[in-house]
Structure 1
Amino acid sequence: MRRWSEVPLLRRVEPFVLAVLGAVAVAALLPAGGALATAFSGGTTVGVGVLFLLYGARTAPAEAVAGLRDWRLQGAVAATTYLLFPLLGLGLTLLVGPLLDAGLVAGLLFLSVLPSTVQSCVAFTATARGNVTGAVVAATASNLAGIGLTPLLVAALLGSSGAGPDAGAVGRIVLQLLVPFLLGLGLGRWIGGWVRAHRRPLTLLDRAVIVAVVYAAFSRGVRQGVWGEVGAGEVAVVLGCAALLLSAVLAAAWWAPVRWGATRADRVTTVFCGSTKSLATGLPMASVLFPPHVVGLVALPVILYHPLQIAVCSALAARLGRGGGAAVALQR
């Protein structure tokens, strides 16, 4: 009997992807609740903070300043996140709208205007040997801008206005992302060398945090009963739309920067910062922007997109990190 690693199909699957899919399956069967859910929420918050402290520790302050000055890279990520993605989402919902509940259509549009992830895009960029400093800056800027831009774009695309996220969202983003990164910059003089020397084992920490975030997020969805509100056919359509959006944005974000002479590292950063959407930011925003009776449906496309982006982007990041051809990796 052959081992799983000797089966050609399974040999091509990244262990990280299997871990993510396993987290989804476990959440569906055994969702975290009560004290366990509280523990996961606190643990992932601390984990994200530790990740960004380590990213800051291995980044020279001069590189951070250079990242802020790289207006082409930051502009490319912002345009992908808040211009290209919403336009693609709007076009797609016009095609599939008659097949879906109005709440799911709103959810697809809401997905398209969310900011990028606060930890996954940086972890993917690091794995793929991209511009990590630029990714940290882009992730920070995307989330800070999203606090104002996402509600405005929701109002514009859906034809109705809503209250924006609570003022505490700014503080949470700063505390979870900026403060640890800046602290890491300050400590880099003493621990930067150690962090860079142990990059490989610390990658396991990156991935463990992401898997925990996926499990916690899907557990919330299961506990809220969002899966029982729609049929399998509608879920399949939404998942297909999510796959189309991700594929289109990945391709555009990789090839478009060639026109302005972007380096490989900057193209990697644009790909992962422009294509990922934040579940952690999206679910709280949905509860504020939409009526309570449709929040579950609005959140479903975001919940489906999140593991899909992690599975696809983790495989792509690993391929790029090993030095595989980008064009080949994107085509497979």
Structure 2
Amino acid sequence: MRRSLSLIADPMIAVLVLATILAALVPAEGESRVFAQAIANGAIFLLFLVNGMRIARGEIARALANWRFFVPLGAWVFGVMPLAGLGLSQIASQVLPPLVALGFLFCGTLPSTVQSATSYTSLAGGNTALSVIGAALINIAGVFVTAPLFALLAGSEAAEIGTETILRIGAILLLPFAIGQAVQKRTIGWLAARKAEVAWLDRVVIGIAVYVAFSGAVEQGLGAMFGAADWALLIALVAGFLAFATGGAWLAGGALGLARADRIAFLFAGAQKSVAIGAPLAAILFAPEVAGFVIAPLLLYHLFQLLIAAPLANRLARG
């Protein structure tokens, strides 16, 4: 019970709420936003450097060998979920601001979260080792797949990926990850002994990226654009998206004939979405005045997935 409560009270919820409130009250505007964006880019570089240092290449190789689990998982995360996000974005565009509606597609193209997917798989009695490797592999693929997949499906100027954007992705995401992989033999043990500090690095970097993104949205009048009915509709659409992801991933695992422990790992790795990839990537793909609108569905999705994951894991643990 104590472990369940600790998972429900995930500090990431507090970080997201604090960053959003801070952006609403004291947004980074003008020259201060340029400075804040530079800090965010440096923090994102550091985060992906550490990610490269801590994900062992041997784990990636072992994951690739389990094709019966990982091929369907990749197809679900980067096939079914983006198409569902595309459908929801088209529905939402009829009643919500276009950039907010586009956020459903962006959310759908993102990989799953590593830390919470693994924790809830363990709590539910699933295959934890498979979850660790699977979520890590999907996250690595997401660094390469999400941006071009989003651009392909969005088909609008907002999603165009030109040379400048490609260079920024390479410099801020891929380069530090590659450096981390190159030096990981000397760092992986040191980082493994400091999991709590690494977890807080994740949270702080995400908080900075969310603050910068929402500062731009506040400056563009996000509050004035959204009434109570708009928020209610957005919340309902996000909840429906999460329900589809969770129920669909569970049914897909059953249709594949996975053992129950593997099916649980497939559920959490397939249904959850990573704000750790989404917030930094949005900061690179979109201008600050745009990013806050686009990540709104993702932030709600992440909040909701944390709220339902522990009760769901407890229910699965009871059989």
TM-score by length of 1: 0.71
Tell me the alpha carbon deviations over residues 39-60 of structure 1, each in whole angstroms, 9 at most, x when there is no partner.
3322332223323332332333
Any conservation in 2 of the 1:93–1:108 contact (CA below 8 Å)? yes
User: Partner residue of 1:65?
Assistant: 61
What letter corresponds to residue 153 of structure 1 in structure 2? L
User: Partner residue of 1:3?
Assistant: none
Could you tell me how far 1:275 is from its partner in structure 2? Answer: 9.4
User: Partner residue of 1:83?
Assistant: 80
Q: Quick one: distance in 2 between partners of 1:24 and 1:251?
A: 29
User: Partner residue of 1:42?
Assistant: 38
In the TM superposition, what are the counterparts of 1:201-216 in structure 2 within 5 Å?
Answer: 201-216=197-212
Q: Quick one: distance in 2 between partners of 1:163 and 1:210?
A: 22
Q: Does 1:108 align with 2:105?
A: no
Could you tell me how far 1:211 is from its partner in structure 2? Answer: 1.6
Secondary structure of 1:165's aligned partner: coil
In the TM superposition, what are the counterparts of 1:1-332 in structure 2 within 5 Å?
Answer: 13-68=9-64, 70-71=66-67, 72-73=69-70, 75-87=72-84, 90=87, 94=91, 100=95, 103-104=97-98, 107-108=100-101, 111-112=104-105, 116-117=109-110, 121-125=113-117, 131-155=131-155, 164-260=160-256, 261=258, 263=262, 264-265=264-265, 267-273=267-273, 278-282=278-282, 300=293, 302-314=294-306, 319=310, 326=313, 328=315
Unaligned runs of 5+ in 1: 1-8, 288-294
Could you tell me how far 1:30 is from its partner in structure 2? Answer: 1.0
Any conservation in 2 of the 1:27–1:219 contact (CA below 8 Å)? yes
Judged with a 3 Å threshold, the aligned counterparts in structure 2 of structure 1 residues 238 and 183 are, in CA distance, closer, same or farther, namely same
Any conservation in 2 of the 1:60–1:188 contact (CA below 8 Å)? yes
User: Partner residue of 1:5?
Assistant: none
Any conservation in 1 of the 2:49–2:177 contact (CA below 8 Å)? yes
Any conservation in 2 of the 1:67–1:134 contact (CA below 8 Å)? yes
Any conservation in 2 of the 1:56–1:185 contact (CA below 8 Å)? yes
TM-score by length of 2: 0.73
Unaligned runs of 5+ in 2: 123-127
What letter corresponds to residue 270 of structure 2 in structure 1? T
Judged with a 3 Å threshold, the aligned counterparts in structure 2 of structure 1 residues 243 and 315 are, in CA distance, closer, same or farther, namely closer
What letter corresponds to residue 328 of structure 1 in structure 2? R
User: Partner residue of 1:4?
Assistant: none
Q: Quick one: distance in 1 between partners of 2:62 and 2:84?
A: 30
Q: Quick one: distance in 2 between partners of 1:189 and 1:10?
A: 32
Q: Quick one: distance in 2 between partners of 1:61 and 1:277?
A: 20
Q: Quick one: distance in 2 between partners of 1:12 and 1:91?
A: 27
Q: Quick one: distance in 2 between partners of 1:38 and 1:136?
A: 32
Tell me the alpha carbon deviations over residues 262-283 of structure 1, each in whole angstroms, 9 at most, x when there is no partner.
7355543323348998355457
Any conservation in 2 of the 1:249–1:274 contact (CA below 8 Å)? no
Secondary structure of 2:28's aligned partner: coil
Judged with a 3 Å threshold, the aligned counterparts in structure 2 of structure 1 residues 240 and 144 are, in CA distance, closer, same or farther, namely same
Could you tell me how far 1:221 is from its partner in structure 2? Answer: 0.5
Any conservation in 1 of the 2:275–2:299 contact (CA below 8 Å)? no
User: Partner residue of 1:292?
Assistant: none
Could you tell me how far 1:163 is from its partner in structure 2? Answer: 7.1
Secondary structure of 2:113's aligned partner: helix
Q: Quick one: distance in 1 between partners of 2:114 and 2:50?
A: 12
Tell me the alpha carbon deviations over residues 210-269 of structure 1, each in whole angstroms, 9 at most, x when there is no partner.
122221111111012233234332232123212221232134235533443273555433
Could you tell me how far 1:115 is from its partner in structure 2? Answer: 6.0
Q: Which deviates more from structure 2 when the two are superposed, residues 307-316 or residues 242-251?
A: 307-316
Q: Quick one: distance in 1 between partners of 2:57 and 2:143?
A: 22
Name the count of aligned residue pairs: 299
Could you tell me how far 1:26 is from its partner in structure 2? Answer: 1.5
Q: Quick one: distance in 2 between partners of 1:304 and 1:255?
A: 28
Q: Quick one: distance in 1 between partners of 2:190 and 2:283?
A: 37
Q: Which deviates more from structure 2 when the two are superposed, residues 269-278 or residues 220-229?
A: 269-278
- List, as ranges, runs of 4+ consecutive aligned residues in structure 1 with deviation greater than 6 Å: 160-163, 274-277
Judged with a 3 Å threshold, the aligned counterparts in structure 2 of structure 1 residues 193 and 22 are, in CA distance, closer, same or farther, namely same
Secondary structure of 2:32's aligned partner: helix
